[in-house]
Structure 1
Amino acid sequence: MKNFLTLLVLALPAATPIQAAPNVLIIIADDMGLDASRCYAVGQQQATMPNIEALCDTGVVFENAYAAPVCSPTRATIMTGQYGFRTGVGATVSRNGENGLSSDMTSLFDVVSGAGYSSNLIGKWHLAGAEAGLDHPSEFGVSDYWGLFSGTARNYSRWTSVANEAEVRVNEYSTTAFTNRAIDWIGAQDGPWFLWLAYNAPHAPFHLPPAELHTAHDLLDSRDAIAANPLPYYNAMLQALDTEIGRLFASMDPETRENTIVIFLGDNGSPNQVTRGFYGDHRAKGSIYEGGTHVPLIVAGPDVQAGRSDDFVTTTDLFATIAGLTGAQVSMPDSYDFGPVLTGGQSARDYIYVEHFAQDGPSRGDMFGHALRQNDYKLVLEQGAQPELYNLAIDPREATDLLADGVSADEAAIVARLTARIDVIRGE
């Protein structure tokens, strides 16, 4: 039975002046950090993604959006609006493990369905542990799930999908297959809808996509070439993703497209194989540093005022925000509705909290612990290590730990304040 005591859901008019009953499309790119997007002045050698760049020109680009360091916890925060320490999903979910997301909690799909929306999730699931069956999505209100049930596909062109709660073999490039399914589903709707479209691109394995989806035709399609220099292949995968997103947009009739709010999100930092040391001694994906958790987030659509926002946003906030866009209101401590930002207002969130944990401890290369940012300062509490403090206003890549050369009175006060805020968040 769902635990509806975790939040209050009211079918009320939307709290923001977004037009009534817009469609909502959230698109998740798998393993795409800030350094991979031309919408942000971070990194170099980024992929050309004209359709996403057009969203950046017409929508809100969030400068301070954060996710979990890896796939599963980010998806769990969107699904429930709750931090991982509440749901138990703090790291990558393994089909052999017991840390899958419990369906006892009210889901985002429960909320939007209660607001009169048809809804679906197409693409990567990655929330089911060993105890879950192939009906796991339906337990969250996703009745027509189709996609990649586990974390990744070994081959983008030959993989296993779940459809009608059964496994089926697919011999189609997954980025294209997900897009085709989304086009068909959207075309069949005759009322307001919400679609969560979760691509597995550009997650490994790095490869050369079908030629018609990218322009990197000088790349060799060989394992040795990919292993020696994966970045251009990663970029080709992103360009292929953008091409298919453009095809999805073009498939909508003008009225549907004009009434659809598009949310584009990277689910965690870029793979460390392609960041080329941009973050210095710190890793990207898998770490609670900026490279692992600071992600692209763009929202565009009807009544959205174009611009760039410095408001703090985390992936838990997508729960309350999407609920608000569909006309429902939710009340829960971890999820802030940033809908007002879309029409020129501000979010109520004044801090960023990120975490990475599991009962078995970190896998090779992962960094466990939690971190909190408030204003310009960020406190990093890695499991088994001394606290670290950074001023992101002058040190956005966290090169200089302010506590490394001794702790001043001012720094001690900042650490105490941020630590106290973490204790309040976690109820400790």
Structure 2
Amino acid sequence: MSIPLTAAFLLVASLLACGTDSPAGLDNLVTPPSTSNGPNILLIIADDLGLDATPGYGDGIKAHMPVLQSLQSEGLTFDNAWAYPVCSPTRSSILTGRHGFRTGVLGAEPPENAIPAEEVSLHALLAAQTNYNAALIGKWHLSGTSNGNADGPALLGIDHYAGLLSGSHQDYNAVRLTQNGVTSTVDQYATALFTDLALDWLKGQTSPWFLWLAYTAPHAPFHLPPDSLHHSQGLSGDSAAIDANPLPYYLAMLEAMDTEMGRVLDAVDRQNTVVIFIGDNGPPTAVAQLPYRPRRVKGTVFQGGLQVPLVVSGAGVDRMGQREAALVSSVDLFATIAELAGADMQDSQDGQSFAGLLVDASAPARTHVYSEIGGDIPVFAIRDSAYKLIDFGGGDRQLFHLASDPYERSDLLSDDLDAEAASALATLEREALSLRTP
């Protein structure tokens, strides 16, 4: 099942006709598709990758990732990028530009991982307003019985989808591949398969394109990738060895992904392509490294669960080899990509484009960034440039001064607050209330 450009235009138009019940912030966006000379846009998402194993970020044993490091040297590296604590909400935030409390995508398990079919996707917006061809290849993890299961991508205006619908593989060498609604098992290493699928799609493109390439690496199950994709030595690959020390295998999986990223980058016109690389959440406990505490990584709203690598390189990125301290979020990618593609994106409700920062360090930026996770008692976090508030529900809260305590060792609410901290707390409370109030 696929939705051609004209149908995507009608999809967006019909959703916006629903008035106040339609996704907020998307009014007045439906215009006839325009011819664009904008850059190609490649979004690469790594699965379960925080800062500790990523080259160019702080402490930890780093994966060998020369392709990513070349993107860093030729582009802009963001030091304060937040995602969500688990994968589905992050992917939904990118696809819709809206936080999980609006879309209902607050977790990685059904029913909290299924994105409503009435949401307006980035792909549908680009189809309605530009001449970009768009595809999504790799991990999806946004479908359920409520939104069409295998047809979920098509129902959201994604004209070409090929990848893994679920959250993880049982076996990286036996991929349950769904292509436009049809599922079969493919006996090929997943990371290489997704690269091949991306290259096959790219070969047919004659107009500007947007490719969302979501690798499943380095998500569990941890394993030893094919020898041709990494340089790790002395790894047996047997299950007992992996269980005893999974980190070397996690790092090898990252190197294999980096190798495959190189194949994609070698196939595109780098002078006319913007490359965006992001992790979807922090590392799982089994491979988390100090200074992150094992219980404060993936699945939590502590920094180890939220802070992810974000690198933007390529066409139009003037700040080569620089770092950016501005607050940015996965939810901002919708507005950023829409702006890069020339779509008439005035307000994506929660997202704010950071395209200006790619060329100008003084461009406007966020003052606050927000994330959350669902469950029996939803938990959210909000921060400014210095302070971070975590609300665990039921009156249980913690406040940290990230500027001096980046790994959240000292809860300021365990003692009396000084004037600066009290003022920051009041501001964070107001910002959270304003954001979460319909």
Q: TM-score, normalised by structure 1?
A: 0.92
Identical positions, percent:
43
Q: Which residue of 2 aligns with 1:369?
A: 379
Tell me by how many angstroms 1:409 deviates: 4.9
Q: Which residue of 2 aligns with 1:349?
A: 366
Task: Tell me the SS of whatever aligns to 1:389.
Answer: strand
Q: Which residue of 2 aligns with 1:68?
A: 84
Deviations 1:211-269 (A, max 9, x none): 100011311111110011110000000000000001111223xxx22201000000000
Give 1:227's aligned amino acid. D
Contact 1:77 1:83 in 2 (8 A): yes
Are residues 385 and 129 of structure 1, via their aligned partners in 2, closer, same or farther at CA, if it must alter by over 3 Å?
Answer: farther
Are residues 421 and 321 of structure 1, via their aligned partners in 2, closer, same or farther at CA, if it must alter by over 3 Å?
Answer: same
Contact 1:37 1:296 in 2 (8 A): yes
Tell me by how many angstroms 1:276 deviates: 3.5
Q: Give the CA RMSD over aligned residues.
A: 2.0
Counterparts in 2 of 1:67-216, with a 5 A limit?
A: 67-94=83-110, 97=111, 99-114=113-128, 115-131=130-146, 132-216=148-232
Contact 1:376 1:393 in 2 (8 A): yes
Name the CA distance, whole Å, in 2 between partners of 1:322 and 1:266: 17
> Which structure 2 segments of 5+ residues have no match?
1-10, 17-21
Query: 1:310 aligned to 2:325?
Result: yes
Query: 1:418 aligned to 2:428?
Result: yes
Which of 164-173 and 70-79 deviates more? 164-173
Give 1:304's aligned amino acid. V
Contact 2:332 2:351 in 1 (8 A): yes
Give 2:326's aligned amino acid. D
Name the CA distance, whole Å, in 1 between partners of 2:79 and 2:427: 24
Query: 1:327 aligned to 2:342?
Result: yes
Contact 2:104 2:112 in 1 (8 A): no
Task: Tell me the SS of whatever aligns to 1:403.
Answer: helix
Contact 1:372 1:380 in 2 (8 A): yes
Pick the structure with more helix per residue: 2
Contact 1:336 1:347 in 2 (8 A): no
Q: Which residue of 2 aligns with 1:398?
A: 408
Name the CA distance, whole Å, in 1 between partners of 2:264 and 2:341: 21
Are residues 337 and 189 of structure 1, via their aligned partners in 2, closer, same or farther at CA, if it must alter by over 3 Å?
Answer: same
Deviations 1:266-295 (A, max 9, x none): 000011111144323742100001000010
Query: 1:247 aligned to 2:260?
Result: no
Task: Tell me the SS of whatever aligns to 1:91.
Answer: coil
> Which structure 1 segments of 5+ residues have no match?
363-367
Q: Which residue of 2 aligns with 1:383?
A: 393
Q: Which residue of 2 aligns with 1:260?
A: 273
Which of 167-176 and 19-28 deviates more? 19-28
Q: Which residue of 2 aligns with 1:365?
A: none
Q: Which residue of 1 aligns with 2:247?
A: 231
Task: Tell me the SS of whatever aligns to 2:412.
Answer: coil
Deviations 1:160-181 (A, max 9, x none): 1111311111100000000001
Task: Tell me the SS of whatever aligns to 1:34.
Answer: coil
Name the CA distance, whole Å, in 2 between partners of 1:260 and 1:30: 23
Q: Which residue of 2 aligns with 1:274?
A: 287
Which of 232-241 and 370-379 deviates more? 370-379
Contact 1:13 1:328 in 2 (8 A): no
- What is the aligned length? 411
Are residues 48 and 84 of structure 1, via their aligned partners in 2, closer, same or farther at CA, if it must alter by over 3 Å?
Answer: same
Name the CA distance, whole Å, in 2 between partners of 1:409 and 1:425: 24
Task: Tell me the SS of whatever aligns to 1:47.
Answer: coil
Counterparts in 2 of 1:10-25, with a 5 A limit?
A: 20-25=37-42
Contact 1:282 1:289 in 2 (8 A): no
Contact 1:29 1:266 in 2 (8 A): yes
Query: 1:27 aligned to 2:27?
Result: no
Give 2:437's aligned amino acid. G
Task: Tell me the SS of whatever aligns to 1:35.
Answer: coil
